[in-house]
Amino acid sequence: MIEDELLKWKFKSGSKDALRRIYEKYRNYLLTLAMALVNDAGLAEDIVHDVFVTFAQSSGTFKLRGSLKSYLSTCTLNRCRDQIRARKRQPLSLDEDIPMQSDFDPPDKRMISEEQSRQVAGAMAQLPYEQREVIALHLNAAMKLRQIAGLQNVSVSTIKGRYRYGLQKLRSALNGRL
């Protein structure tokens, strides 16, 4: 996208406005991705915060030829993986409350069931991390399976398997509740 190329160029020159604009443009998207992976709103916010602070610190040496969105997604993904490894968490129960909000508020006219979102997010948290990552990257971050295979360092067929089995588990978990 032309805007992203311009923002990259301005950011490299040290423009605070460009960095703010990049943050405002991608913060919700990265937050949703982080949340899908770590299932902890506070941790997801910390991760997004850290991604942008590290990004800001790189302005003097920043060199990126590819997509800004993909770059930030990868940074977020790496931090999520670090957190998962560090915490060695057990899968959360379906009762964990997830502050997912309708993307078409206001609250007096709820369009999308918060309860449904909560249960979907809770079911995602039950999946093995590798399956959850594939589903979140493919559906929330719109990455191609081939890209995800590169990130997970496995074959495309392995990724397809993780995606298929992950969705099957989600369907089974949710059909009793929705």
Q: Is 97 in the site for other proteins (CB under 8 A)?
A: yes
Amino acid at 97: D
Give the separation between CA 143 and CA 146, rounded to whole angstroms: 8
Given 5, 6, 9, 14, the residue binding other proteins (CB under 8 A): 14
Nearer to other proteins, 106 or 153 (CB): 106
CA distances 139 to 1, 102, 114, 142, 163, Å, are 21, 17, 19, 5, 10
Contact 139, 110 (CB under 8 A): no
4, 10, 29, 165: residue in contact with other proteins (rule CB under 8 A)? 29
Q: Contact letters (x/-) for other proteins, 144-163, by CB under 8 A?
A: --------------------
Segment interacting with other proteins (CB under 8 A) among 64-72, 77-85, 103-111, 143-151: 103-111
Instruction: Read off the tokens for 110.
Output: 């709820």
**Contact status, residue 29 vs residue 52, Cβ threshold 8 Å:** no
Number of residues that bind other proteins (CB under 8 A): 61
**Amino acid (1-letter code) at residue 40:** D
Question: Which of 8, 37, 38, 52 touches other proteins by CB under 8 A?
Answer: 52
Is 48 a residue that touches other proteins (CB under 8 A)?
yes
Instruction: Choose which of 90, 107, 146, 153 interacts with other proteins (CB under 8 A).
Output: 107
Calpha distance 16→40 (Å, rounded): 29
Whether the bond into 128 is cis, omega within 30 of 0: no
Position 124 contacts other proteins (CB under 8 A): yes
Does residue 105 touch other proteins according to CB under 8 A?
yes
